[in-house]
Structure 1
Amino acid sequence: MANKPSRDLLGVIWQNFWRSLRPRQFRGNLIGEDYFGNKYYEIPPNPAIGKRKPSRYFEPADKEAFDQELTAEWEAWLRGRREDPPTREELVTNLQIMELKKQNAAQLDAHYAKDKDAAALPKQVEGETIGTFPKYKEYDLMPGKHSIKK
């Protein structure tokens, strides 16, 4: 008969204790940096100790600011929604697209601000206005009281 490996309790406890003394990686490997100055790190998975997913974190550029901005690409990588970290070319391309959208939005705001200024003037209906809202004969200003004579 073949010898079966024994699974005695003391042997399992000793092996777990011995494995726990081996050094672990607490500091991550630098993966990249974004244009805000944040640095991104990853601790690779180690199936030997039961860790199947990598640990990912970032160090902000300004440690005192609590309203940190992260790029969408790096945030997706941090949360595990993408496997590979974003490349510098991808970040630059998306930053250029973001700047172009801001410029287009500013142009549209300037274009519609002219129309809005013209529309903001109070319209007069039969010579009477309340602020920017017109009065109409068929509507009551105060319920039950007819202020405009017919």
Structure 2
Amino acid sequence: MSSNGRPLMKILLENFLKSFRIRQIKGNFIGEDYFGNKFYEIPKDPSKGKSKTSRWFEPPEKENHEQEISAEWESWLRGRRKEPPTQQELMKNLAIMQLKKKNADLLDQKFPPKQDQVALRKDETGRQKASFPSYDDYEVMPGKPKVPSK
């Protein structure tokens, strides 16, 4: 080996020995959203060879795979925001979300869709909801005429 270059064997041996160090497995609790999800983080530590922050969440029901996450926490998990959302921010956005649902229901009551123009579907509560309008003037499949409904 040349004395001018980097001591390759020394670097390899140091990295090999660093790989045996005890690593942090349990994360630091960061916060909780209004769905009950708990969020954790292990910060990056370049001195230990960890160059990227690890973030994850634990849902309240481990076996239910169709749970929701608030948009603010999802952006924090994906690294699109550096700081976790505050409780005030979460509550403000939850209030806006509930207001929009309430206004949408009021509009549905004020302007009910015509049954012959609307394809119906059932939502998670079992109520029938309009998914999209259906007009006789438009084709269902390109190039094929619409079959008249009975």
Q: TM-score, normalised by structure 2?
A: 0.69
Listed one character per residue, the Cα deviations across residues 58-109 of structure 1 (whole Å, up to 9, x for unaligned) are 0011001011200000000000001100000000000000010011000000
**Displacement of 1:18:** 2.0
CA distance in 2, matches of 1:50, 1:16: 9
The 5-angstrom pairing of residues 33-48 of structure 1 reads 33-48=32-47
Structure with higher Rg: it is: 1
Q: How many percent of aligned residue pairs carry the same amino acid? A: 54
The amino acid across from 2:34 in the alignment is Y
2:54 aligns to what? 55
Instruction: Give ranges in structure 2 of 5+ residues lacking alignment.
Output: 118-135, 137-150
1:76 aligns to what? 75
**Alpha-carbon distance change, 10 to 53 in structure 1, aligned in 2, over 3 angstroms:** closer
Name the SS of the counterpart of 2:57 in structure 1: strand
Aligned residues: 116
Name the structure with the higher strand share: 2
CA distance in 2, matches of 1:67, 1:92: 22
Q: Runs ≥4 in structure 1, deviation > 6 angstroms? A: none
The 5-angstrom pairing of residues 2-21 of structure 1 reads 7-21=6-20
Name the structure with the higher helix share: 1
Name the SS of the counterpart of 2:111 in structure 1: helix
Instruction: Give ranges in structure 1 of 5+ residues lacking alignment.
Output: 121-132, 134-150
Name the SS of the counterpart of 2:11 in structure 1: helix
**Displacement of 1:49:** 4.0
**Alpha-carbon distance change, 39 to 73 in structure 1, aligned in 2, over 3 angstroms:** same
**Displacement of 1:21:** 1.8
Larger CA deviation: 10-19 vs 84-93 = 10-19
The amino acid across from 1:46 in the alignment is D
The amino acid across from 2:114 in the alignment is K
**Alpha-carbon distance change, 5 to 88 in structure 1, aligned in 2, over 3 angstroms:** farther
The amino acid across from 2:78 in the alignment is R
CA distance in 2, matches of 1:39, 1:27: 13
